[in-house]
Amino acid sequence: MTKFKRGNIFNNVEIVDIASGGKAVGKVDNVVIFINNAVPGDVVDVVINSVKRRYYEGNVLNFIKFSDKRTDPKCTHFGVCGGCKWQNLSYTEQLKFKQKQVVDNLVRIGKITINSIEDIIPSENIYYYRNKLEYTFSNKRWLTKDEFNADPFVPLNINGLGFHIPGLFSKVLNIDECFLQAAPSDAIRLAVKKFAIVNDYTFFDLKEQTGFLRNLIIRTSTQSELMVIVVFHQEDDEKVNALMQHLAEQFPEITSLMYVINPKRNDTISDLDVILYKGKDHLTEKMNELTFRIGPKSFFQTNSVQALTLYNVVKDFAGLTGKEIVYDLYTGTGTIAIFLSAAAKKVVGVEYIEQAIENAKENSLFNGQKNTVFVAGIMEKILDNAFIQTHGQPDVVITDPPRSGMHPKVVEQLLQIAPSKIVYVSCNPSTQARDLALLSGAYNVLKIQPVDMFPHTEHVENVALLLKK
């Protein structure tokens, strides 16, 4: 029997699949090894770097054979940056494995009998599709092998502005060019970094929690609007104003220029004041005839174009006639609720984040809707009999929970409420499958539609239509 331990090398391992976490799957003596930076069809030599209870993790030492499913990564940061793990896999193959991931989870975890499943809907854009990116400043950036082995007597600037290295939160990879967000995202990031270095602004030390520059957030919309938020660790009016004025002059296309002072130990700005330096305090996004205002703290689907595709699937599955009361659980800033409201008698959105509910109310009012109600509360506590009596018995429930899925109590409440139809939108097919299994005693899964929102990643959205038995 083969013994597995860290440092062991196995030769001629064929990559046979991709796991839900995005890593390639190889097998030795029927034992699963999760492998970085390989694709199905590759044959590789693997070194074991981690021993778990039921599986092992490894890295590729040598490629013996390259798969015909491969494609050349477009990004020079591929393999270090964890943002686009599948750039070495053709987009056609990415879609096949995402579809397989949905089916495998529904069958294996949910024990769902799948009579039919629609083909996954591809993303219209596979590059430059994100409307929001957040970069981190670091005074000890990740060094490449060449930099690490360079002449120690040659000065090396180790300030960086980019993304966290996967699994190493204190390490930040400096980004030169990124294909996730359209221009001028790269130019703004590079200009901020250059200005900071030239003017001796200190970059943040993630371990010591010191330094002046902390984060840079860039948001865009399909309406050619651009929001830039610079997050500083401490106050310094002179330095803040100098950088903000530099951005305003260099990039007049910025429509919302803002900054935040964040002295906390975490990066979230949801509980902090966002100060408007120049322009509007929001972006606008359009979906069909609807207009959404997106503030600096607002949640909005990260792929704006594909979000419309996703919401059209939800609307189709809901099959509204104008007579239904609809509950939209985990409504966020109310985008789905607002999108469906014209086809419903009444839509009730529920979300635990109060600021998101305020955004939902503002967007509903802005669009002139009078049949939407938005309520803030903890989901597993709020859906009681009093809530139903106040807002009405729902005919249709839309649920779009976080990656962790629905709380067990929410599932129990849905079974008690017993709407005739549930449309379950999920960004995590495994937790969706778990929840569908819990609902299976009372509901049949009628339709399944995967949607790709994030090309070059393992992530996939899935919409399931449940009908009451």
At 82 the pLDDT is 81
At 3 the pLDDT is 67
Other CB atoms closer than 10 Å to residue 382's CB: what's the count? 17
The CATH classification of domain 95-126+303-468, taken from the options 3.40.50.2300, 3.40.50.150, 3.40.30.10, 3.90.226.10: 3.40.50.150
Q: Would the pTM of this model clear 0.95, i.e. be above it?
A: no
Q: For residue 462, what are the contacts with CB-CB under 8 A and spacing of at least 6?
A: 102, 425, 426, 429, 432, 448, 449, 450, 451
**For 7-13, which contacts have Cβ atoms below 8 Å and span 24 or more sequence positions?**
7/47, 7/48, 8/47, 8/48, 9/45, 9/46, 9/47, 9/48, 9/61, 10/45, 10/46, 10/48, 10/58, 11/45, 11/64, 12/43, 12/44, 12/45, 12/64, 13/43, 13/44, 13/45, 13/46
The stretches in the chain having pLDDT less than 50 are none
Residue closest to 10 by CA, chosen among 49, 51, 48, 55 = 48
The pair of structure tokens assigned to 15 is 């990559």
At 2 the pLDDT is 62
Domain 132-287 in the same topology as domain 9-70: yes
R_g of the chain computed on alpha carbons: 24
If you write DSSP's letter for every residue of 446-469 in order, what string do you get? EEEEEE--STTSS--EEEEEEEE-
Please state, in angstroms and rounded to a whole number, the distance separating the CA atoms of residues 337 and 350. 10
Q: Where are the beta strands (DSSP E) in 238-363?
A: 256-261, 274-279, 283-287, 290-294, 325-329, 346-351
> Exposed, middle or buried, 332 (CB in 10 Å: 0-12/13-18/19+)?
buried
Q: For residue 452, what are the contacts with CB-CB under 8 A and spacing of at least 6?
A: 94, 95, 98, 120, 121, 122, 123, 306, 460, 461
Torsion of CA 8, 13, 18, 24, to 10 degrees: 40
pLDDT tens-digit series, residues 17-33: 998 778 899 998 888 89
The pair of structure tokens assigned to 450 is 């995967």
Classify strands 256-261 and 226-232 as parallel, antiparallel or unpaired: parallel
Say whether 358 sits in a helix, a strand or coil.
Answer: helix
Question: Containing H/E element for 398?
Answer: strand 396-399
At 154 the pLDDT is 66
The CATH classification of domain 9-70, taken from the options 2.120.10.30, 1.10.3720.10, 2.40.50.140, 3.40.830.10: 2.40.50.140
Residue closest to 304 by CA, chosen among 238, 232, 221, 380 = 221
If you write DSSP's letter for every residue of 155-218 in order, what string do you get? -----EEEEEETTEEEEEEE-S--SSS-TTHHHHHHHHHHHHHHTTPPBPBTTTTB-SEEEEEE
Catalytic residues: 427
Residue closest to 263 by CA, chosen among 297, 228, 207, 212 = 212
Please state, in angstroms and rounded to a whole number, the distance separating the CA atoms of residues 352 and 343. 25
- The fold of 132-287 is OB fold (Dihydrolipoamide Acetyltransferase, E2P) (2.40.50)
Please state, in angstroms and rounded to a whole number, the distance separating the CA atoms of residues 273 and 7. 50
Per-domain residue ranges for the chain? 9-70, 95-126+303-468, 132-287
Please state, in angstroms and rounded to a whole number, the distance separating the CA atoms of residues 153 and 300. 48
Decide: 435 and 411 in contact? Cβ < 8 Å.
yes
DSSP 89: B
Phi first, then psi, for residue 373 (nearest 5°) are: -130, 135
> Exposed, middle or buried, 410 (CB in 10 Å: 0-12/13-18/19+)?
buried
